[in-house]
Structure 1
Amino acid sequence: MGPAELQRATTVARRYFLEGKAKTEIADEFGISRYKVARILDECREQGIVRIEIGVPTAVDSELSERLRRAFGLRHALVVRTTAPDVVTLRRELGTAAAELLTEIVTEDDVLGVSWGRTLDTMAGALTGLAACSIVQMTGVTGAVGANSIDLVRQLAAVSHGPAYPIYAPLVVSDAGTAQALYQQPGIAAATSRFASITKAAVAVGSWDRDGSQFHQALPPATLATLSTGDIAAEVCSVLLTEDGTPTGEDISRQTISIRADQLRRIPDVIAVAGGESKVRAIRSVLRGGLANSVITDVGAARLLLESPTPPQG
């Protein structure tokens, strides 16, 4: 293929395989026939532009999953047998399990809320099908606009073909007045007004340190200095929690564009996706506080969680 032909072919492949567009839609966009689109896709496979891999189904320890579910009174618990100890593999395999669960349980009548996180990014990448539900972003953006939570919402909506409600605002702002003003903006209100309608949610869980929480990274040093970090066990959707799951850091929450702890608790099914020994204290805190009632984790974390389970708060 020449450069122009190659450019068109790769764009057609992206539209079909990544964005989930129908061949007729792609044909209309490029002014060619549906059969020409099919030929281009065939050529992409033949020339190695598109490589298709068949993933091995996620290995779930069903006995450990059931023990964890009963110990914490959960709706869903999936304990994944990871194939390697490194964090990249852990995130990928937990994300794949989360994608499989969402594909199974989400219906067109649901409103799906999502936070942000590297494991949730892998979840979105692993999704190949999702009911045409509404997708609502539950937190503002950390880092550059177009990355993290906004990009995650776009990826999910591209698979589900349902309406998406992103939040084009930073997660952390300078003061409470600025936060309140942003909440009144129509584009942001379109998402935040739907928090009460969310029926299922997928959330990442952060341990309270720079490596374990993107929210920690987003706070300026002066703000971090005001927090009693020894009392903070977890962070979920920018909500800080103590060891027993009690929300803390209320002053900080007034400077964030994010779902609140009480709103998160009212969602019928919140799935926490997190694993690794470094996240055990944080996962336990989130489950104890009732901010999630389903969990996807790995074997090592599950065994540590079962050493000292505590039922969630009423």
Structure 2
Amino acid sequence: MKRKARFDELETMVKAAELYYISGLNQGEIAKILGVSRQKAFRLIKKARELGLVEIKIRRPAEADQALAQKIKEKYSLEDVVVARVYSEVPENVVKAIAQAGADYIKGKLVPYISVGVAYGRTLYEVIRYLPRLELPGVKVVQMMGAYGGVKWKTLAIELLKSLADKLGGEAIYLFAPAFAGNSAIREAFLKEVGVRETLRMAEEVDVALVGIGGIRSETSLLIETGDLEEEEIRELTEKGAVGGICGNFFDIRGCLLDVSFNARRISVRLERLKEGNRKVIAIAGGKEKKEAILGALRGQWITTLVTDEATGRWLLEH
């Protein structure tokens, strides 16, 4: 028991040092992620240096979650799995921990002259915050879904795309359309625009898609929180057994895409097209509120890589 406590203490020290020296976060931000006080965060960083855990690079004790990641990878036939250690059960802190792990993962997967698809979401917003500047020539960053809700959300969607393109040193390709048109006729009018049609084509042909996985409640789905779906449409999702969605494509616990009425006004990539093209779809999602949504995405084989937290990972192994 003492050995485990000692190992956990070392892990926490190393995490604090990584966040400070590699991610460049301040002690207040580190304290929030680890769920400790600022003073505790300072002491962890200081002790990490004293114990020789910090040199030119940070030395991490054996990664306890690699075995768990491998089991999930094998069970769900994924290309890759990353399991982030989470030091606090507060949802915001879980998101930040997963986002940091996601940023660390994707920075090693992105190369010059590729296309990267992205849609707006809370977790992806955090991922881009942690991502360092890579300056990759010839990269295109493509918006995969129209903008959400009102002016605030539309602005944030544009800022997210621009921020990612800036960090990669690439070009941002915007989808100038709403996530959901007022009705099917308006959607068809948008799709007749060459710019919209061409951006959607590019989005469905990206080399790598970075996605979140949303639930069907406002606290787990930014799409629903922004009010783009009517009350009767949300009820329809519940009645048809929806557990989650990716870029507005909703599915049930088996991973089957749902034929819902608002599909007729959705302006986004189609998951089946991404699958047909064997695209790399990296999902960064976790937290107990999203477990079933992630499970549905895995069963439907809508993603190729998963970045999640330890508790969610263990739950996925049991289902």
Report TM bin, short chain: 0.7 to 0.9
SS in structure 1 opposite 2:267?
A: coil
2 CA distance for matches of 1:247 and 1:91? Answer: 26
* Correspondences of 1:209-224 after superposition (within 5 Å): 209-217=217-225, 218-224=228-234
Task: Indicate if the aligned counterparts of 2:117 and 2:143 stay in contact, CA closer than 8 A.
Answer: yes
Aligned to 1:271: 282
Classify 1:229/1:206 alpha carbon distance in 2 versus 1 (closer, same or farther; 3 Å): farther
1 CA distance for matches of 2:100 and 2:124? Answer: 9
TM-score, with structure 2 as normaliser: 0.75
* Correspondences of 1:22-41 after superposition (within 5 Å): none
Post-superposition shift, 1:290? 1.3
Could you give the per-residue CA deviations for residues 129-178 of structure 1, whole angstroms, max 9, x where no partner exists?
Answer: 33331101101111325434322111101111211111122111121111
Matched, 1:280 2:284: no
Aligned to 1:203: 211
Post-superposition shift, 1:193? 2.2
1 CA distance for matches of 2:196 and 2:74? Answer: 38
Could you tell me which amino acid in structure 2 is paired with residue 200 of structure 1? V
Q: Which runs of 5+ in 2 are unaligned?
A: 1-23, 31-44, 46-57
Could you tell me which amino acid in structure 2 is paired with residue 260 of structure 1? R
Post-superposition shift, 1:187? 3.3
Matched, 1:80 2:88: no
Could you give the per-residue CA deviations for residues 110-140 of structure 1, whole angstroms, max 9, x where no partner exists?
Answer: 2111122101000011111333311011011
Q: 1:165 aligns with which of 173, 182, 188?
A: 173
Aligned to 1:306: 317
Post-superposition shift, 1:267? 4.4
* Correspondences of 1:49-60 after superposition (within 5 Å): 53=25
Could you tell me which amino acid in structure 1 is paired with residue 297 of structure 2? V
Could you tell me which amino acid in structure 1 is paired with residue 77 of structure 2? G
Task: Indicate if the aligned counterparts of 2:213 and 2:285 stay in contact, CA closer than 8 A.
Answer: yes
1 CA distance for matches of 2:119 and 2:303? Answer: 13
Deviation larger for 144-153 or 103-112: 144-153
Classify 1:229/1:154 alpha carbon distance in 2 versus 1 (closer, same or farther; 3 Å): farther
Post-superposition shift, 1:63? 1.2
2 CA distance for matches of 1:60 and 1:116? Answer: 31
Matched, 1:70 2:74: yes
Classify 1:282/1:227 alpha carbon distance in 2 versus 1 (closer, same or farther; 3 Å): closer
The share of aligned pairs that are identical, in percent, is 23
Post-superposition shift, 1:249? 3.1
Task: Indicate if the aligned counterparts of 1:244 and 1:285 stay in contact, CA closer than 8 A.
Answer: yes
Could you tell me which amino acid in structure 2 is paired with residue 142 of structure 1? Y
Aligned to 1:155: 163
Could you tell me which amino acid in structure 1 is paired with residue 259 of structure 2? G
Aligned to 2:263: 253
Could you tell me which amino acid in structure 2 is paired with residue 195 of structure 1? A
Aligned to 1:184: 192
1 CA distance for matches of 2:143 and 2:198? Answer: 10
1 CA distance for matches of 2:64 and 2:132? Answer: 19
2 CA distance for matches of 1:161 and 1:150? Answer: 16
2 CA distance for matches of 1:175 and 1:232? Answer: 22
Aligned to 2:250: 240
Task: Indicate if the aligned counterparts of 2:204 and 2:269 stay in contact, CA closer than 8 A.
Answer: no
Deviation larger for 147-156 or 117-126: 147-156
2 CA distance for matches of 1:192 and 1:86? Answer: 36
2 CA distance for matches of 1:60 and 1:211? Answer: 30
Classify 1:230/1:247 alpha carbon distance in 2 versus 1 (closer, same or farther; 3 Å): closer
Could you tell me which amino acid in structure 1 is paired with residue 158 of structure 2? I
Post-superposition shift, 1:293? 1.2
Q: 1:296 aligns with which of 296, 307, 310?
A: 307
1 CA distance for matches of 2:70 and 2:236? Answer: 41
SS in structure 1 opposite 2:141?
A: strand
2 CA distance for matches of 1:196 and 1:171? Answer: 15
CA RMSD of aligned residues (A): 2.1
TM-score, with structure 1 as normaliser: 0.76
